[in-house]
Amino acid sequence: MFDFKMPLTDALAVSLIGISTVILILAIIALLIILVSKIIRAIENAANRKKAVAAPEQTATAPTGVPMPAGMNQGELELVDTDEKTAAIIMAIVSDKSGIPLNRLSFKSIKLMEDK
């Protein structure tokens, strides 16, 4: 029905133009995706900064566990080569980092380690 003959050089030129067009369009789409991604990330970072400024740091609050009734504790503490002030600081740090109220923690002993 159709008897369309094209020389080999023309056929190669048409296919080269077609392939080049497809690759160029794909590259443009990839650049658009990267650009939109950076714009969205910048907007999210700006929103996160606004939230951080609006809400003060919440990690400075007291531990969230349920404290025991006043006057109750978990037992005795043995201090080995450690003064009470240092032991109190260590226990407060453990309580803060773990989120467990200090009177819910049970310390058996605190021992000073010598530097070697």
**The pTM of the whole model exceeds 0.85:** no
- How high is the mean pLDDT of the chain? 83
pLDDT at 59: 52
What is the C-alpha to C-alpha distance for residues 114 and 10, in angstroms, rounded to an integer?
Answer: 85
Residue 14 has pLDDT above 70, yes or no: yes
What is the C-alpha to C-alpha distance for residues 12 and 9, in angstroms, rounded to an integer?
Answer: 5
pLDDT at 50: 82
User: CB-based contacts of 91: which residues, under 8 Å, 6+ apart?
Assistant: 102, 105, 107, 110
pLDDT at 1: 67
Cβ 107 vs Cβ 91: under 8 Å: yes
Please, which pLDDT band fits residue 37 given cuts at 50, 70 and 90? Answer: very high
pLDDT at 75: 65
Cβ 103 vs Cβ 69: under 8 Å: no
